[in-house]
Amino acid sequence: MFKIFLLLFFSVITLFASEKLSSLLTTYTKESELSKITKQEAAGIIDIFTREDLQKMQAKDFNDVLKLIGGLHSTRLTNNITAFSKPTTSTIQLPSVRLYVNDHDMSSSSFGSAFLIWGELPLEYIDHIEVYKGSSSIEFGNETASLVIRLYTKEASREAGNKIRIYGDNLGSINGDIYHAQIFDNGLSLFAYANVNNIKRTTYHNEYQQKEYDLKSNRKGHNLYFNLKSTQFSLEAGSYVKENDNLLGIGIHRTPTGGDLDSYHHYFHFINKFPKKFKLEVSYDKLSYDRTYDDENGIKVTNAPLLNHYNIHFKDSIGSIVLEKLFHYTKHSLLVGTFYKHKRFEANGNYANTDTGYLHTNSYKNSLNLYSLYAEYTYDYDNSLRLIASAKGDFTHYDKSVKSSNKAILRIGAIKHIEKFRLKAFLTKSYVPIAFYQLYNPQNMPYKTNPNLTPMNLDLGSISLKYKSNANEWELIFAKNKLHDVIVYDRRTPNGYKNSNKTITYTRYQFKYTHNFNQNNRILLDLYTGNNSKDVVLSPKYAASTQLFNTVGKFDIYNELIYKSSYSCYGLYMDAAFDYTLAVKYHYNKDLSFGLRGENLLNDAFEQAYKNYNKAIPVQDQKIWANMEYLF
């Protein structure tokens, strides 16, 4: 009897196993997502775009993801640079948002932002993306920012093999990606990636004195990335080279007749993990940002007559050393770290009016030593409550003229789990670093600078309540920011930028909902709004996005709808926007797939208004992309 029972037992197990193996493998894939390993719950309120999400979306470049970040509008400036605005506000300060690829801070020293170069980076080598709001960056051992976006590259240990991806669109764009991943017998792993792109965008037009001018925003370039890793160290190198059109440019009548941006960013980053949780990071960046504007109807700059040619070439280099040690004892964790950065900054300008013969050239440079000390203490009171306290001191010293500053960042937080609920709350006292371009330009030409500016102080409070059951997950988020000593631009003063005694308060309300129909079918909803103490509306006050992920047989189907409410700006009224994207991917087999992605299919995407231009321009083009991916 016992033998029959055992036989029956294992037969049932086997039957159960057979039916469930595919399903278990799908579950394992989801549970093994790298984002589950890399995400840092204590670092802020998090949005995650998993590898599976990015693949089903057929995401191509960073913009496909940026436009889905809740609580922000992704837009572009007059010169075609990616920027963000919060509901109701104008675009936010560039240094408020920091971008990392793995542990490397991609920000330039001239602008304090990575988005001038990396705003549209191709995503094929990226595994997943984490967005931290209400952050302080202490957890990431680097300069401060309230919004941190971290991109993680694919792991060679999981990728072993090669991949080619080619896509193009109906406007004539073409993009190619290739990567190779290998694990050696000695345990080292190698990942090497190359991309080449030539992206065409819709050309808009401006008419001035019965002449038509093209407003172009095409770009082309290439992106190379390499990493070599062992369990002890990692060595990364990256290089992104980009040429980008100027869209409207900076002419007084928005009538560009030429010019573009030629830029590159090369970097390497070395990390070594020593015994006893001691970590050393060394990195070096070299950046070039060569911007030319040509406008035959005049470019107005500071301290010069009307120009028709404007060229400025910024060159940055950044050297950085980070040391960190983690102490862990039962319920207590203490991370202590320090970093030193040396940033060099150089600008060469060439400003002319070919009609009048005016020509002015200038050249200036400066450098910054930034020292930082930081610590973060985490206490696990019990399995359901984690308390966090962190502090950081940033000490900046410039080589020339610019006032040095010593700033402190303080942060406390708590994460509490109560059955299916999770409460997160953070309070941060921080500041917004000032970019070089606002601080130093001895001739105040072509723009004014103020070497005596002090960083704006920032108080951040955020709270999130999340509920998670098997199929449903929702999250309510409330965040309040107070910006003190706000830097304003006053054209009447010799130095333009100045610290005012103004305080601006900003409040954000957000609701996120996810429903999992089953392993392969899911819907996400994200609603958000905000208001500011100045009571102005310079961008949509209400926004919502919904994403629907489906898999039917060999097809992945992705629907995305982004809504932005109507708004008025620069004397223009922008109607409510509905940006609809549909992507369908057919898996011919496990290694070969073909896809189509239609963007802004309703031709009703979010439009950005610009000063001195009488029409609003859609941030997203209407396009159909064809996509082929092959693994071998």
Partner 1 sequence: MKKFLFALLLITTTLFASNLQTEEKIYALIIHTLLPDNQKIKVWGDTPHNKEILQNITDLQLVESPKDANFLLLDNNSSIETNALIFVTNYKILEKMQKSAIGGFFWQKGRPNILFLRKNLQKKNIQLPKSMQDFVEDEI
Residues in 427-446 that interact with partner 1 by CB under 8 A: none
Tokens of 528: 């958000």
The correct pick among 37, 185, 276, 553 for binding partner 1 (CB under 8 A) is 185
Q: For residues 44 and 21, give the distance between their C-alpha atoms in angstroms, rounded to a whole number.
A: 37
How many Cβ atoms from other residues are within 10 Å of residue 406's Cβ? 10
Which residue lies nearer to partner 1 by CB, 39 or 587?
Answer: 587
Selected from 20, 328, 420, 554, the binder of partner 1 by CB under 8 A is: 20
CB neighbour list of residue 625: distance below 8 Å, 6 or more residues apart: 58, 60, 167, 168, 169, 173, 595, 596, 597, 598, 599
Q: Is 36 in the site for partner 1 (CB under 8 A)?
A: no
Q: For residues 9 and 421, which CB has a smaller minimum distance to partner 1 in the complex?
A: 9
Among 27-35, 396-404, 578-586, 618-626, the segment contacting partner 1 (CB under 8 A):
27-35
Residue 512 token pair: 């996120």
How far apart CA 192 and CA 198 sit, in angstroms, is 21
Note whether 14 binds partner 1 by CB under 8 A: yes
Start-to-end CA distance of the chain, whole Å, equals 52
11 near partner 1, rule: CB under 8 A: yes
Tokens of 532: 């500011």
With respect to partner 1, which residue has the nearer C-beta, 182 or 239? 182
Q: What is the C-alpha to C-alpha distance for residues 95 and 109, in angstroms, rounded to an integer?
A: 10
19 binds partner 1 (CB under 8 A): yes
**451 upstream amide cis, omega within 30 of 0:** no
Helix (H, G, I), strand (E, B) or coil at 402: coil
Output the smallest distance, CB 57 to partner 1, in A: 16
592 binds partner 1 per the rule CB under 8 A: no
Q: What angle do CA 14, 20, 23 make, to 5 degrees?
A: 160
Q: Are 69 and 75 in contact (CB under 8 A)?
A: no
The residue within the footprint of partner 1, chosen from 300, 591, 603, 611 (CB under 8 A), is: 591
Q: Encoding tokens for residue 10?
A: 């294992």
Q: What is the DSSP string of 340-364?
A: EEEEEEEEEEEEEETTTTEEEEEEE
The least CB distance from residue 618 to partner 1, in Å, is 34
Per-residue x/- marks for partner 1, 144-173, CB under 8 A?
----------x--xxxxx-x----------
Give the Cα separation of 539 and 569 in Å (integer).
7
Q: Which is nearer to partner 1, 161 or 442 (CB)?
A: 161
Size of the site for partner 1 (CB under 8 A): 38
Report, in Å, the least distance between residue 159 CB and partner 1. Answer: 5
Whether 585 contacts 627, CB under 8 Å:
yes
Minimum CB separation from partner 1 for residue 29, in Å? 6
Tell me which of 166, 183, 194, 445 binds partner 1, using CB under 8 A: 183
> Binding to partner 1 by residue 602, rule CB under 8 A?
no
Token pair listed for 319: 């050297």
Q: Using the 8-state DSSP alphabet, how is residue 442 labeled?
A: T
Binding mask of the shown chain, residues 48 to 77, with x at each position contacting partner 1 by CB under 8 A: ---x--------------------------
Q: Do residues 391 and 336 touch, judged by C-beta distance below 8 A?
A: no
Query: Could you give the string, one character per residue 101-140, with x where binding to partner 1 holds by CB under 8 A and - elsewhere?
Result: ----------------------------------------
Least Å from the CB of residue 31 to partner 1: 5
Under the criterion CB under 8 A, does residue 519 sit at the interface with partner 1?
A: no
41: Cα within 13 Å, side-chain hemisphere: 17
For partner 1, which is the closer residue by CB, 50 or 257? Answer: 50
CA nearest to 37, candidates 23, 51, 20, 24: 51
Task: In angstroms, give the least distance from the CB of 619 to partner 1.
Answer: 31
Given the complex with partner 1, which of 163 and 341 has the nearer CB atom? 163
9 binds partner 1 per the rule CB under 8 A: yes
Residues that bind partner 1 (CB under 8 A): 5-22, 24-25, 27-29, 31-32, 51, 154, 157-161, 163, 183, 185, 590-591, 631
